[in-house]
Structure 1
């Protein structure tokens, strides 16, 4: 009786509240928050308007898309430190207009050379804690900037970083959402050294509209601007980080920073109804989106419709299948033989699809047999270069480790490792952890069509697949594809390595009907309301004939797409 009452309450609540839509729109889908942004000479889409404006400024002054992406990322490290910063990692996919090719960059850091599973056993820990010195891995973002700039950049790095430096010195007004996240992170990591000095105003977190400055970050950016990547990895910054971590009982050292390298990697793809969808291979989770799409392609998704139990059921079951493989196999390829080609193949998808019962939600799937918090931005320029870039500290502001007077927090990405011996993603010295942050790109007929991403931990592959389906199957425009109500399946095969035993639960945004929800309940799905877990979307689409750009940004957050 309790379960039925809960389900009825969910349906009634949906009927009463109704979808959060713009019913008075003259054109387009009723749920779209705004029209697409359209421009010819350049486009920037980020999660903060000030960062978008910085990127546009770089483009207007003659920089290219890569220059503008780095500038916007540096600015986001200042205005959105609750999700990103130079203490974190970076991944990017670049369409180079000159060579007409895609390039992938893995700028994620490795575990400290002196940290192993025995350390945790000696401390009586059976898993890696989320905060403090133990989950800290080498931050790869700055090296990622310079790898991108060395290969594709067109203006000096000192010029690229100047806007963020000036804002850090002079201050900026904090947005409502970032003020909320500041306070949330204070409760998580506010007790650690340096948090109050770096991020509090008069003993409290900044409020909406208050001017926030970060002079320490400005000084750090200036050292990077003049001294290059070695100023961060081999100079005074690295020495400060190493000394601070030693004081805090951590394992990240100067030597770990000095040894860091990023890697150019080949993006991988699957074809979905004539469109090539590109992701980066593990240690990230991007291929999960490709696995989901390969299964969905075998169904008449367009005929099912967005607000249908059949579509949602099929999507959720495809996600469950992909995430079982994700939990077992996705890890650092330098330490494992990961058959990526097989996992994203059509043949494998056909095998996995046979496990789906069209009428009943599965409580459990096994992985196949094989032979949370981020920023995303995208930039495009007049020449046709496009960048899909994602960067993160992991859990909001990261580990809470704020090296003395540097103005940023070190990431806690090492929490993603397993301590189980023999697991693909088990902790080993010098190993990259499993990563959730993933950029995406779509080409059609070997031409650039779409650069996009949806930040938000384990939601990302699910949302990548939904954006593609919204555009291709449901015929939405770029903004509509991001504003459409989203499906989120949780509770199984998360980065902890746990596998699904109870089927998990499904969360649906407002906009899905009571009838659809009722049918999903009858199919055995557990529905649960969640708030704020549906990701953050930015995208740029290029018209292959005119070259005109269409931009879209997340209406659920502070994002802005703008062009000229």
Structure 2
């Protein structure tokens, strides 16, 4: 009888666990180091570098090089990137801005005269910007790293040359991208033998392997001059050497505006971060040419509410968050851009006084349908708004993410991207990679904060989050997702600091999103009243939101996130890494 009772109790426990799992994946915890990224191969390679004695900067270069190979629709060496870095030696948080710049020939007048006043959306070289990823690699290895390009790129070169079994997501991305067939170089690269690789089949990219090997060869030739000179020689071969000349020639021969000088003059930028202190946590973002600061605007608005009392994913919580996003992203459209070309009034935008003024516009019972940017000063220079209400611009995009923390607590958030699937769709000759298509983010309205100008960086959707507590790294996280990226990281952050979730539960929790603001891609469409929620959120909540005027769309239960993150316990120093089960993301810790 006792045995039967035990068996029944055990079965009941099993059923309960199956119905109400704590999480689809466990937290990866460790004392030494942790890695999380959008692909298992990238996570494994980065962790292998850490085990071999490399630091976080070495590991993330190796990991992202592989990430671009195994997820070529989302990122690669033709991409742009933003990074947030905590340097344990100096105890500083820094921004690395590796956003691409527009060609010198790219002007608003050129597109009006030659492209019917439109920027091609995620297609052709006319939508591209100069790649920034390799310069980001160089900065990290030269300024903070311990290894060489030869050491960090060895796994990616081996995999590209010898091949690797592709995943279901890899195969689907290639099969579904019909535009690749328009370009012979792309067909040759992605459709070997005229067919897209199936899941489990071996795929090689000899062109990319050869390009990466050229960097290593340049480094080796310059090695007698010292480590710095060797690293710079590798970097310069891409931006000033034969690779740059090959990219320029291919561009000119295929209708692009890129010329050699665009690559030779490019440099990624190391800058101070922009921060907002939310309930004692310092939230760091990249300051220029990206949307990250808009999340800080949202946090400033939400700090005026008792978030815990609203309750997680209640109608009141979601409504308040959505309305705050609408206001913050209206300011994103009006004020954010490349700080080499415009001035951003952060002192006012991030002030609690300004947040209090803007917060008054949030109606607790009614959803706003208007675009309502603020005014930071009575004498400010007027800026035009560029918004479309009738188009069908996409608010999402193809980006990737990797985050690494090492034993010394160096910590890096790295968001690399091609913007949309396979970027411009055009593989650059025999080099094995396409450019990003971030150029379709520019506004063609003169005077707009994000207006196209030669050599300017577009205000991208790329962003990540690095949170410090009492001057030490506490939480690093990021996600692909186009305009939705800030909403993904913000909700995950609040799940941790407001609702006490662990990193994995915070990532897996049901989500909401809105597109009720101008999209980043041309023609910058705003979908008035738009609100999407995952179907794990109760129907009663959907109905309550609809009564407030939101145009609610129920999406799949596990369809609206792709986040990875690492949390550092401020008391125990234990690392907790999480990875989103909605995608192929993988976390490891030791």
2:191 and 2:114 map into 1 onto residues whose CA distance is 32
Q: Which of 482, 491, 507 is matched with 2:507 structurally?
A: 482
Q: Which of 390, 396, 403 is matched with 2:428 structurally?
A: 403
The structural deviation recorded for 1:497 is: 7.6
Larger radius of gyration: 2
Partner of 1:348: 354
Q: Does 1:182 align with 2:188?
A: no
Partner of 2:250: 244
Write out aligned runs for 1:86-485 (5 A). 86-130=77-121, 131-185=123-177, 187-227=178-218, 228-371=234-377, 372-485=397-510
Contact 1:107–1:140, Cα closer than 8 Å, also in 2: yes
Partner of 1:11: none
Contact 2:535–2:554, Cα closer than 8 Å, also in 1: no
1:500 and 1:198 map into 2 onto residues whose CA distance is 33
The structural deviation recorded for 1:500 is: 8.2
1:356 and 1:278 map into 2 onto residues whose CA distance is 25
Partner of 2:76: 85
Contact 1:361–1:503, Cα closer than 8 Å, also in 2: no
The structural deviation recorded for 1:401 is: 2.1
SS in 1 for 2:468: strand
1:542 and 1:27 map into 2 onto residues whose CA distance is 30
Q: Does 1:56 align with 2:42?
A: no
Contact 1:363–1:501, Cα closer than 8 Å, also in 2: no
Give the structure-1-normalised TM-score.
0.93
CA separation of 1:23 and 1:400: change in aligned 2, threshold 3 A: farther
> Once the two structures are superposed, what CA deviation does each residue of 1:372-420 show, in whole Å capped at 9, x if it has no partner?
1111110011111111111001112100121111111111111111111
The structural deviation recorded for 1:501 is: 7.0
> Once the two structures are superposed, what CA deviation does each residue of 1:286-320 show, in whole Å capped at 9, x if it has no partner?
01111111111111111121231000100000010
Partner of 1:508: 533
2:163 and 2:110 map into 1 onto residues whose CA distance is 42
The structural deviation recorded for 1:353 is: 0.6
2:44 and 2:310 map into 1 onto residues whose CA distance is 40
2:127 and 2:358 map into 1 onto residues whose CA distance is 35
CA separation of 1:502 and 1:132: change in aligned 2, threshold 3 A: closer
SS in 2 for 1:159: helix
Q: Which of 538, 541, 555 is matched with 2:581 structurally?
A: 555
Partner of 1:10: none
My pick for the range that moved more, 197-206 or 404-413, is 197-206
Partner of 2:567: 541
2:572 and 2:158 map into 1 onto residues whose CA distance is 37
Contact 1:328–1:497, Cα closer than 8 Å, also in 2: no
SS in 2 for 1:270: strand
The structural deviation recorded for 1:529 is: 3.7
SS in 2 for 1:287: helix
Contact 1:68–1:160, Cα closer than 8 Å, also in 2: yes
Contact 1:97–1:384, Cα closer than 8 Å, also in 2: yes
CA separation of 1:274 and 1:229: change in aligned 2, threshold 3 A: same
SS in 2 for 1:458: helix
SS in 1 for 2:312: coil
1:55 and 1:74 map into 2 onto residues whose CA distance is 10
> Once the two structures are superposed, what CA deviation does each residue of 1:198-229 show, in whole Å capped at 9, x if it has no partner?
11133122211111111111111111223210
Partner of 1:6: none
RMSD in angstroms over aligned alpha carbons? Answer: 1.9
CA separation of 1:272 and 1:121: change in aligned 2, threshold 3 A: same
Contact 1:174–1:208, Cα closer than 8 Å, also in 2: yes
Partner of 1:9: none
CA separation of 1:352 and 1:28: change in aligned 2, threshold 3 A: farther
